[in-house]
Amino acid sequence: MLEVKLITLSDYATVSKEGKLTIAGIFDRLNVTKFPTSIVRAFFVATISGSPFTEYKLDLEVKKGAKQIASFQLNSVTGDNGRNNLVVEMVGIPFKEEGEYNFILSHDKKELGRTSLDAVYSESQTEIKMPN
């Protein structure tokens, strides 16, 4: 049975040639000063687990409510342990209004997992000050 072990959004992610997954800057909120806007660059990351050495055709949809914002078709091949790390670079995903946006991974029209992002209007970006 195919399932998701990890699912997130990040500023950057990569998989080494040895299969090691690196994720930097995990987030679930986008503070913006105006709408419409877009994410310049972000990464959708998931680890799937299924049968060893099996190819899976997956769909990734970005939705706000029932409205589809973007979609990606992915081919994933599991290794000898039945797992595979997915890293999808997303550029220019539009956010027309404030609210929750869902990133939904599915196989054969069955949802495997999801993560969400809250796009929030903020008049000014707050600077975080680190202690000395």
The CATH number of the domain holding residue 61 is: 2.60.40.1930
Q: The pTM is what?
A: 0.89
Cβ contact 35:99 at 8 Å: no
Among residues 26, 61, 64, the alpha carbon closest in space to that of 43 is found at 26
- How many domains does the chain contain in total? 1
Q: Are 112 and 3 a contacting pair, CB within 8 Å?
A: yes
Mean local confidence (pLDDT), 88-109 = 96
Residue 17 phi/psi, 5° resolution? -65, -20
Residue 54 lies in a domain: yes
Whether the Cβ atoms of residue 44 and residue 50 lie closer than 8 Å to each other:
no
Q: Any idea which residue has 């539009």 for tokens?
A: 94
Q: What is the pLDDT of residue 51?
A: 97
Residue 128 has a pLDDT of: 55
Residue 58 in domain: yes
Please indicate, yes or no, if residue 125 is contained in any of the structural domains. no
The number of angstroms, rounded, from the C-alpha of 25 to the middle of its chain's C-alpha atoms is 12
Percent of the chain with pLDDT strictly greater than 70:
93
In a domain, 37, yes or no: yes
Alpha-carbon distance 76 to 52, whole Å?
A: 12
Residue 100 lies in a domain: yes
Full domain range(s) for residue 18: 3-119
